A and B are shown apart, each in its own frame.
Chain A
Amino acid sequence: METTISVNLKIWRQRGPKEKGQFATYHLDNVSTGSSFLEMLDMLNQQLVEKGEEPVVFDSDCREGICGMCSLYINGHPHGPVQGITTCQLHMRKFNDGDTITIEPWRSAAFPVIRDLMVNRNAFDQIQQAGGYVSFNCGGAPDANATPISKEVADVAMDSATCIGCGACVAACKNGSAMLFVSAKVSQFALLPQGQVERKRRARAMVKKMDELGFGNCTNTGACAAECPKNIPLSNIARLNREFVKAKCAE
């Protein structure tokens, strides 16, 4: 059955990208264990607003774990202590009465803080713009069943395509590497027949853009896959490395 708990919150507050931030502490009573983590923050914000203080700024939208908008580094883990979910899917029943919860933004050079817990992830869009697509114009596609694709291949491509672009992989990585994110998209297209024509160009262009934007190198630590809310496997990075080497050799 659901009950209520009290929690202490240690939250990173920062006015802007160039300003100095610091932790602020808050105490919150009567949090239903059936509430989501973000509903708990809504409660805090409601109380702050009642006191005339500015609410803690954080990103969230769909609140069902698919849009990738929410972030938050909770007690040292991107998207909190539970594996395989986003922050918005985390529920307060995972915490105990009296717990102190530390909440920080994604920390990465490539994701500057906008305010408090909200960061700028435009770099991810830029990487996708560099080549994360099949180049064709609407209207020219052949019949959808013209090219059979084995169920196994389609399923693996789907697993890669599941990436929600939240940036937890970058936040989890000690090097701030975006390899898991990039490899998921490169893998999806490398696996499918529609992606073959531009396979090499795509791997080169996306890796080049990733390097330009200040993401770190991959040292195969695996924190990204361990923290990924969608359980994108590390094998994607191995595939990206192969794709990239093959593409470079073909140059």
Chain B
Amino acid sequence: MADLKSVEGMIDSTPIMKDYADIESSKLPEYQIDSKVPEGPLAEKWTNYKAHQKLVNPANKRNLDVIVVGTGLAGASAASTLAELGFNVSNFCIQDSPRRAHSIAAQGGINAAKDYQNDGDSVYRLFYDTVKGGDFRSREANVYRLAEVSNNIIDQCVQQGVPFAREYGGLLANRSFGGAQVSRTFYAKGQTGQQLLLGAYASLNRQIQKGQVKSYNRREMLDLVIIDGRARGIIVRNLVTGELERYAAHAVVLATGGYGRTFFLSTNAMGCNGSAAIQAFKKGAYLSNLAFTQIHPTCIPVHGEDQSKLTLMSESLRNDGRIWVPKKKEDAEAIRAGKKKPTDIPDEDRDFYLERRYPAFGNLCPRDIASRAAKERCDAGYGVGTGNAVYLDFKYAIQRLGADVVRDRYGNLFDMYQMISDDNPYETPMMIFPASHYTMGGIWVDYELQTSIKGLFAIGECNFSDHGANRLGASALMQGLADGYFVLPYTMQNYLSDQIKVPHFSTDTPEFDKAQKDVEDRIAKLMAIKGTKSPDEIHKRLGHVMWNLVGMGRTLQSLVQAIDELEDVRKEFYNDLRIVGSANDLNTELEKALRLEDFLVMAKMMAIDALHRNESCGAHFREEYQTADGEAKRDDENYMYVSCWKYTGDNEKPVLLKEPLKYEAIQVQTRNYKS
């Protein structure tokens, strides 16, 4: 800590600090944040809102067009539900089918406050656990609403024919996830995301068949079109032909997922990107809490430089698996050198560090805590494998339950692990290590899920709203579907009700001309660089900078260094990028380059956000701010707010606005998973 001051002194005099120091202008009236949280007691806000919001009558709905970008849980559920209501929906995805959006890869489950297990669950408890899990950095009213509608989601999905796991009596089964002391997670083997997405896809297909949704596959949004201050359309690139296409609507919904691939290696799919968020940012939408990126504790460790992505092993494994590293450093060294096997280490020489540090929650403590604890052990020299891995051991579960029960619960996950690692988890412990998985930060939205641009909405992972500084397991599916099925279809009408006299838009306007021209210029500029580095090479470099300096543990110094190094990566991109092929054709290299260009902007904003937040909370761990026993030290006095970054120009400093967080129904306290 001794040289911290000098670093502070140093950065005060660099332009970096000033990048976000322009807080004065945020006091201007046009920069005031209105979260539109309804009045009244917390438990009645959503009911009151629904009772008093403006609606659009059925005859007018058919005159209104809505664009939904993305077909994951949030996008598909919103598109189908809006269409069921009678709006004309156009729905876009980059994959070859809406069914392939990355929600499909979610394994473990979806939370709901059904209390089917009679274990004391309630809407309030789900709400409380989510706010606490998020380390008191989420908006209370949004989270309460999420918990309220969670039960409707389960009903909806069962009616769609989602084959959730069941007990022998025929009722739905549940399991536990991190950060909860009740069993509230519904699941379909280790493929819950797949089954929920196929449910939403089925509802979407019904509306496509009816002609109420027009589905556009292999299309990537490249710009947002604003007319008279309102979001009115998008420019997309047809990924098969390379042609640019224009689409207009009364409102635009972004459901484009998170920016986890800023780290290059992550559990996200190859096509996941943060580009729509950056396009919205550049048109005036605020980006919030970007420093809150979730590093998932149970992923298969990195094997080498050619690796393209990391594979998650479901958090549900922590129900029965025990996490440990050797107690003795010499054992860890012997294992790394291949001289000992994990099965050679007797129980008394194993350090079950989560059970040791967090007795009350043990192996089921929240993700940020489990990830940091793994990193702490590995940094201290107790890691196994390459040194960056810990064990997740099923020996004890097999002793307790028998191999058949374990196979029934986790068989497909074990198979997946064996396929990738060539180890048999029934016989030897799995090796796991944390990896970038989910982004809590994202596009700022108000209570109605509207961004700071009128007529532009953001739902699912791409918004910032519900998970605060850390998301609990099985809550992403819940939020995506809550937004799409039960929140946006109501709240959007409050906006659309005053649009009923606005005729269908033409794409033949100067605004569309300009947006398309901007995209053409942008593509031409990248194609003209004709350097030597492929987009993937530069993206890997970006990933290294982000993982090493803006990853699980951040310091003032590392973040300052990151911003410096990001500038180098940016220069390399604009001076040495090489895109083979042509722009007016199918071109996967160009697709990667365009996404990478946006990741570069996102990366810098993440670093700035992490640098400005002088506290540790949830997944944002600033090493300077920790307690004596290594826990995150929040600064509620100075940082209990949502950071909202406003774009002011490519070479201008972003402006920081703040949405203060007020907790009325909950007592803010230090997170404690120990007792």
Among the listed A64, A149, A189, which residue makes an inter-chain contact with B166, where contact means beta carbons less than 8 Å apart? A149
Chain A CB within 8 A of B420 CB: yes
Contacting residues, chain B, for A84 (C-beta < 8 A): 415
Contacting residues, chain A, for B589 (C-beta < 8 A): 49, 55
Q: Please determine whether B303 and A125 come into contact, CB atoms closer than 8 angstroms.
A: no
Q: Please determine whether B191 and A66 come into contact, CB atoms closer than 8 angstroms.
A: yes
Of B130-138, B194-202, B289-297, the one with at least 4 CB within 8 A of chain A: B194-202
A interface residues, tally (CB under 8 Å): 78
Chain A CB within 8 A of B580 CB: yes
In the complex, what residue of chain A is closest to B272 when comparing beta carbons? A61
Minimum distance in angstroms from B157 CB to a CB of chain A? 8
Q: B297-313: which have CB < 8 Å to A?
A: 303-304, 306-309, 311-312
Q: Please determine whether B206 and A135 come into contact, CB atoms closer than 8 angstroms.
A: yes
Q: Please determine whether A89 and B416 come into contact, CB atoms closer than 8 angstroms.
A: yes
Q: Please determine whether A144 and B270 come into contact, CB atoms closer than 8 angstroms.
A: no
Among the listed A1, A85, A129, A138, which residue makes an inter-chain contact with B80, where contact means beta carbons less than 8 Å apart? A138
Contacting residues, chain A, for B415 (C-beta < 8 A): 84
Q: B488-538: which have CB < 8 Å to A?
A: 489, 532, 534, 536-537
Contacting residues, chain B, for A175 (C-beta < 8 A): none
Minimum distance in angstroms from A63 CB to a CB of chain B? 5
Q: Once the chains are docked, how many angstroms separate the CA of A229 from the CA of B172? A: 28
Q: A67-B102, A158-B189 are in contact. Are A42 and B308 (CB under 8 A)?
A: yes
Q: Please determine whether B303 and A63 come into contact, CB atoms closer than 8 angstroms.
A: no
Chain A CB within 8 A of B19 CB: no
Q: Interface readout for A155-173 with B: 1 if CB under 8 Å, 0 if not? A: 1011001101100000000
Chain B CB within 8 A of A219 CB: no
Contacting residues, chain A, for B165 (C-beta < 8 A): 154, 158
In the complex, what residue of chain A is closest to B338 when comparing beta carbons? A1
Q: Please determine whether B578 and A49 come into contact, CB atoms closer than 8 angstroms.
A: yes
Q: Please determine whether A46 and B534 come into contact, CB atoms closer than 8 angstroms.
A: yes
Q: Once the chains are docked, how many angstroms separate the CA of A158 from the CA of B166? A: 11
Q: Once the chains are docked, how many angstroms separate the CA of A243 from the CA of B217? A: 31
Minimum distance in angstroms from A58 CB to a CB of chain B? 9
Q: Once the chains are docked, how many angstroms separate the CA of A6 from the CA of B523? A: 37
Q: Please determine whether A63 and B269 come into contact, CB atoms closer than 8 angstroms.
A: yes
Contacting residues, chain B, for A35 (C-beta < 8 A): 303-304, 306-307
Among the listed B158, B209, B312, B536, which residue makes an inter-chain contact with A129, where contact means beta carbons less than 8 Å apart? B209
Of A19-27, A97-105, A116-124, A210-218, the one with at least 4 CB within 8 A of chain B: A116-124
In the complex, what residue of chain B is closest to A30 when comparing beta carbons? B306
Contacting residues, chain B, for A124 (C-beta < 8 A): 97
Interface of A is mostly: loop
Q: A141-B156, A154-B165 are in contact. Are A46 and B536 (CB under 8 A)?
A: yes
Chain B CB within 8 A of A251 CB: no
Minimum distance in angstroms from A221 CB to a CB of chain B? 26
Chain A CB within 8 A of B104 CB: yes
Q: A34-B303, A36-B308 are in contact. Are A69 and B240 (CB under 8 A)?
A: no
Q: Interface readout for A172-216 with B: 1 if CB under 8 Å, 0 if not? A: 000000000000000011001011000000000000000000000
Chain B CB within 8 A of A226 CB: no
Chain A CB within 8 A of B51 CB: no
In the complex, what residue of chain A is closest to B101 when comparing beta carbons? A67
Q: Once the chains are docked, how many angstroms separate the CA of A122 from the CA of B208? A: 13
Among the listed B98, B155, B422, which residue makes an inter-chain contact with A141, where contact means beta carbons less than 8 Å apart? B155
Q: Once the chains are docked, how many angstroms separate the CA of A107 from the CA of B235? A: 33
Q: Once the chains are docked, how many angstroms separate the CA of A55 from the CA of B169? A: 54
In the complex, what residue of chain A is closest to B484 when comparing beta carbons? A138
Q: Interface readout for B89-123 with A: 1 if CB under 8 Å, 0 if not? A: 00000011111101011000000001010000000
Chain B CB within 8 A of A8 CB: no
Chain B CB within 8 A of A250 CB: no
Q: Interface readout for B194-229 with A: 1 if CB under 8 Å, 0 if not? A: 110010011101101100000101000000000000
Q: Please determine whether A133 and B96 come into contact, CB atoms closer than 8 angstroms.
A: no
Q: Please determine whether B102 and A61 come into contact, CB atoms closer than 8 angstroms.
A: yes
Among the listed B102, B191, B202, which residue makes an inter-chain contact with A134, where contact means beta carbons less than 8 Å apart? B202
Contacting residues, chain A, for B532 (C-beta < 8 A): 50
In the complex, what residue of chain A is closest to B85 when comparing beta carbons? A137
Q: Please determine whether B104 and A151 come into contact, CB atoms closer than 8 angstroms.
A: no
Q: A35-B307, A61-B271, A150-B170 are in contact. Are A125 and B97 (CB under 8 A)?
A: yes
Minimum distance in angstroms from A183 CB to a CB of chain B? 15
Among the listed B97, B102, B114, B581, which residue makes an inter-chain contact with A121, where contact means beta carbons less than 8 Å apart? B97
Minimum distance in angstroms from A114 CB to a CB of chain B? 6
Q: Please determine whether A32 and B97 come into contact, CB atoms closer than 8 angstroms.
A: no
Q: Please determine whether B304 and A34 come into contact, CB atoms closer than 8 angstroms.
A: yes
Contacting residues, chain A, for B215 (C-beta < 8 A): 125
Q: Please determine whether A32 and B104 come into contact, CB atoms closer than 8 angstroms.
A: no
Can you sample 9 A-B contacts with CB below 8 Å?
Answer: A49-B578, A63-B311, A68-B97, A128-B99, A134-B159, A144-B155, A154-B164, A161-B163, A195-B161
Residue numbers of A with Cβ under 8 A of B are 1-2, 32, 34-36, 38-39, 42-43, 46, 48-50, 52-55, 57, 59-69, 84-85, 89, 91, 93, 114-115, 118, 120-122, 124-125, 128-130, 132-145, 147-151, 154-155, 157-158, 161-162, 164-165, 188-189, 192, 194-195
Q: Which 10 A-B pairs have the closest CB atoms?
A: A148-B170, A133-B202, A141-B159, A158-B163, A141-B155, A144-B158, A157-B163, A61-B269, A67-B100, A137-B84
